[in-house]
Amino acid sequence: MSVSVGFIGTGVMGAAMAGHLLDAGHHLRVYNRTRDRAAGLIERGAEWCDGPREIAALSDVVVTIVGFPADVEEVWFADGVLAGAGRGTLLIDMTTSSPGLAQRIDREARRIGADALDAPVSGGDRGAREATLSIMVGGEPAAFERARPFFDLLGTNVRLQGPAGAGQHTKMCNQIAIAAGMLGVTESMVYARAAGLDPFRVLESIETGAAGSWSLSNLMPRALSGDFAPGFKVKHFVKDLGIALESAREMDLRLPGLDAVIELYRRLEQAGDGELGTQALLALYERGGV
Amino acid sequence: MSVSVGFIGTGVMGAAMAGHLLDAGHHLRVYNRTRDRAAGLIERGAEWCDGPREIAALSDVVVTIVGFPADVEEVWFADGVLAGAGRGTLLIDMTTSSPGLAQRIDREARRIGADALDAPVSGGDRGAREATLSIMVGGEPAAFERARPFFDLLGTNVRLQGPAGAGQHTKMCNQIAIAAGMLGVTESMVYARAAGLDPFRVLESIETGAAGSWSLSNLMPRALSGDFAPGFKVKHFVKDLGIALESAREMDLRLPGLDAVIELYRRLEQAGDGELGTQALLALYERGGV
């Protein structure tokens, strides 16, 4: 069944995801701050729309995936999605954003009789391209069931984690695990080099056992080769960890690992390395910036 | 070809490893501080020997795997292995110990014309039982080639990492990666619970992606179930991280992740939890000890 879907945010992730919805035969309207980035989708049949409010007024389902919580605010509130949506519209924010903002969107959506879900993803541009994302969802079970066919076009690990905000909280769990993990794999390689070992050979000894992790096997070979091209950018990691930290503070949680990591990544960003991949932490250590 | 092997240290790891050498048909002499723990091997045909010096004097190959660097000192120096060994004896310490101590053993071995290797392992009691250990070796290539047939009876990932001490340094890389990784996976689960999520369901969402790690998938389910039985004991982790920290200081390395972790694990040990598994870090967080 073809559904009228509005898609806001056609960056690297969004463009790939919107493409899967097009391929499945849905009628797609798109909006993006930079129109050029929607050109590929428009060529493939998507319809350009002049703004978030307009797109929401014309769509049964609205999906947004933008950059920062401030972008989510701009797209959803004031003259945005929530002003255009009506009774029964299914509203899905897939940006990694704050749990509190997801709950605010949910409250506004209820007021107008729409269904809202927060559904951040992990898996990166490759997961978006290959439709193998993990999708972490917060909201009502009925809304989740409505959204499920769309999620299944985008990911392979799709789970409802709880009420509004639970998707964002789960994404924070993901980022917190990655954060201190990056510290571990980076310090391990820094030690290897300082001790005069061949770090690639060390990797072969340790990645098969209890030290094994996605970051160790996927990011450290790149970092050791001096390849700091972004899979995931430092500036976005700093954003996510900032949300996690704020959220942890609201819950009175002490997370010293997270504190230590965010301090280092902020230093990396302040040094002008925000556009590099998160594996650039190795460079910060190696230039004595720690 | 049956070789006369002396094996010192028949704890959980050592007994399993020595068993594989027996199974392969080697003549095995054993010594352990607590004789009872060698009983199973003696029943299977190993010969009891009265001490490290005696065992070294009668063996072509000596393997030791004991607890702490102080135990390594006691077993190897003074009236120990090096006093009994002669020209051509192959001497292998598989204890996780300090790189400096491995280099001291190597120097003494050279003096008497023996070959020394440091060869710590990872893979735990299960890896020892199933002969799937990772073995990280430091020493001369010729000595490594002599030892290779024995290592192949014990592990599946056997690598020469460099000269004397390189095996221990590689094991430190392993422990450093695990250390901050434990911080990450633990804080992730602490956050999940505080946010009111089902942490087991969160695990299902995050373990398949960039947050994935051996610790997350293997240790966190146990910790969340309140199962703190040791795969690897807190007190041994504190020992290993202490060696890593000392070694990093000697190299003038700043490793803030390692600093943060060792502080927390020491606190756990001081609280009387040294015999628990490393996943007990979750309990420290949950009782507000952080």
Spell out which residues of chain A touch residue B277, defining contact as CB-CB under 8 Å: none
Residue B52 has pLDDT above 80, yes or no: yes
CA distance B1 to chain A (A): 28
CA distance B163 to chain A (A): 9
CA distance B197 to chain A (A): 7
Both B186 and B131 in one domain: the answer is no
**How much is the pLDDT for A282?**
98
**pLDDT band of A157, cuts 50, 70, 90:** very high
Of A145, A162, A179, the position where a domain reaches its end is A162
Residue B1 has pLDDT above 90, yes or no: no
**How much is the pLDDT for B2?**
84
Write out the catalytic residue numbers of A: 171
Largest CA distance in chain B: 65
CATH code (residue A98): 3.40.50.720
The verdict on B287 touching A (C-beta cutoff 8 Å) is no
Which ipTM score applies to this complex? Answer: 0.97
Q: Taking CB atoms and an 8 Å limit, are A161 and B190 in contact across chains?
A: no
Both A22 and A145 in one domain: the answer is yes
DSSP string over B90-152: EEEE-S---HHHHHHHHHHHHHTT-EEEE--EESHHHHHHHT-EEEEEES-HHHHHHHHHHHT
Of A107, A141, A162, the position where a domain reaches its end is A162
Both A205 and A282 in one domain: the answer is yes
Contact A180, A261 (CB under 8 A): yes
Both B155 and B231 in one domain: the answer is no
**How much is the pLDDT for A166?**
98
Both A136 and A200 in one domain: the answer is no
Both B11 and B123 in one domain: the answer is yes
The verdict on A229 touching B (C-beta cutoff 8 Å) is no
Degrees (nearest 5) of the Cα angle A62, A67, A73? 65
Contact A268, A182 (CB under 8 A): no
Mean pLDDT to the nearest integer, A258-275: 97
Contact B276, B228 (CB under 8 A): yes
The verdict on B195 touching A (C-beta cutoff 8 Å) is yes
Spell out which residues of chain B touch residue A122, defining contact as CB-CB under 8 Å: 206, 209-211
Spell out which residues of chain A touch residue B248, defining contact as CB-CB under 8 Å: 191, 194
A198-to-A189, A193, A204, A280, B169 alpha-carbon distances in Å: 9, 7, 10, 19, 11
The verdict on A210 touching B (C-beta cutoff 8 Å) is yes
Of A123, A184, A202, the CB nearest to B257: A184
d(CA B146, CA B161) in angstroms, rounded, equals 16
CATH code (residue A189): 1.10.1040.10
**pLDDT band of A1, cuts 50, 70, 90:** confident
| Structural domain for B282, as ranges | 169-286
Spell out which residues of chain B touch residue A172, defining contact as CB-CB under 8 Å: 191, 195
Average model confidence (pLDDT) across chain A: 97
Q: Which residue of A has its CA nearest to B285?
A: A254
Mutation to test the B interface, candidates A255, A264, A281, most B Cβ within 10 Å: A255
Both B149 and B176 in one domain: the answer is no
B30-to-B22, B38, B54, B59, B189 alpha-carbon distances in Å: 11, 7, 10, 10, 44
Both A155 and A192 in one domain: the answer is no
Of B140, B162, B184, the position where a domain reaches its end is B162
Both B82 and B41 in one domain: the answer is yes
Residue listed under structure tokens 């952080």: B290
pLDDT digit string (tens) for B126-180? 999 999 999 999 999 999 999 999 999 999 999 999 999 999 999 999 999 999 9
Q: Taking CB atoms and an 8 Å limit, are B157 and A204 in contact across chains?
A: yes
Both B74 and B129 in one domain: the answer is yes
The verdict on A159 touching B (C-beta cutoff 8 Å) is yes
Both A230 and A126 in one domain: the answer is no
Contact A87, A114 (CB under 8 A): yes
The enclosing H or E element of A288 equals none
**pLDDT band of A2, cuts 50, 70, 90:** confident
Question: What's the structural domain count of chain B?
Answer: 2
**How much is the pLDDT for B178?**
98
Mean pLDDT to the nearest integer, A192-220: 97
Both B175 and B138 in one domain: the answer is no
